[in-house]
Amino acid sequence: MARWQPNAPERLSKAALELFAERGYENTTVIDIAERAGLTKSTFFRHFQDKREVLFGGGALAGLLAEAIASAPETAGPLEALTEAMVAIGRAAFTPERRELGALRRAVIDANPELREREALKGLTLIAAMTDALKRRGVPELTACVAAELGALAMKLAHDRWSTGGDFGDSARQALDEVLAAVPAFATFPH
């Protein structure tokens, strides 16, 4: 592949995931990734801080979520705004073309305790981004926190369904409905 071809970040991501799956995360270097993508090490570092960032994408997803929540109609309540955001990120990040790489990513993370920990931290970052975006919309802090936690659970369910062939946006709507349907059951627990 020629060095001048477009989509360097996607090429690097694909190369990294393939190598991580073939050799293991620990046994893959940045140079290996750049060579597989037909690029240079310096090109790699223009797009990613280190090889972990290939898997976690910096704050791109958190930024997309916050932007989509802010763009939701003014009349949308917290959960409606989250639904709008999840549908938007589905269109941008969880496309059918990325499904195979998503499965590779999941397998690499599941095989490495350090990466599972980093994935959990990324989840907390997403929850914080959703909470902050909702608060900027005027949602009270506790309501924003609860909505973001419920949204994160719905996103996880939607991602799992997307991984096996579903549409992320449709899955997110359905998952949020299911999560909300489960909430009243907790009102009957003793305090």
Longest dimension (CA), the chain: 65
**DSSP states along 26-46:** TT--HHHHHHHHT--HHHHHH
Q: How far is CA 134 from its chain centroid?
A: 18
Asked if residue 187 has pLDDT above 70, the reply is yes
Give the pLDDT mean for 51-56: 89
Residue 66 has a pLDDT of 95
Residues 126 and 153 both lie in one domain: yes
Mean predicted confidence (pLDDT) in 147-164 = 93
Q: What is the mean pLDDT of the chain?
A: 90
Q: Say which CATH number the domain at 40 has.
A: 1.10.10.60
Instruction: Examine residue 188 and state whether it is found in any structural domain, yes or no.
Output: no
- How far is it, in rounded angstroms, from Cα 44 to Cα 164? 30
Residues 82-106: tens digit of each pLDDT:
999 999 999 988 988 888 888 889 8
- pLDDT score recorded for residue 72: 95
Whether 64 and 96 share a structural domain = yes
DSSP string, 2-19: -TT-S-HHHHHHHHHHHH
Compute the average pLDDT of residues 162-180.
92
* pLDDT tens profile 25-49: 999 999 999 999 999 999 999 999 9
Is residue 74 assigned to a domain? yes
- Which residue range forms the structural domain that includes residue 14? 8-53
Would residue 172 count as lying in a domain? yes
Domain count, the chain: 2
In this prediction the pTM is 0.85
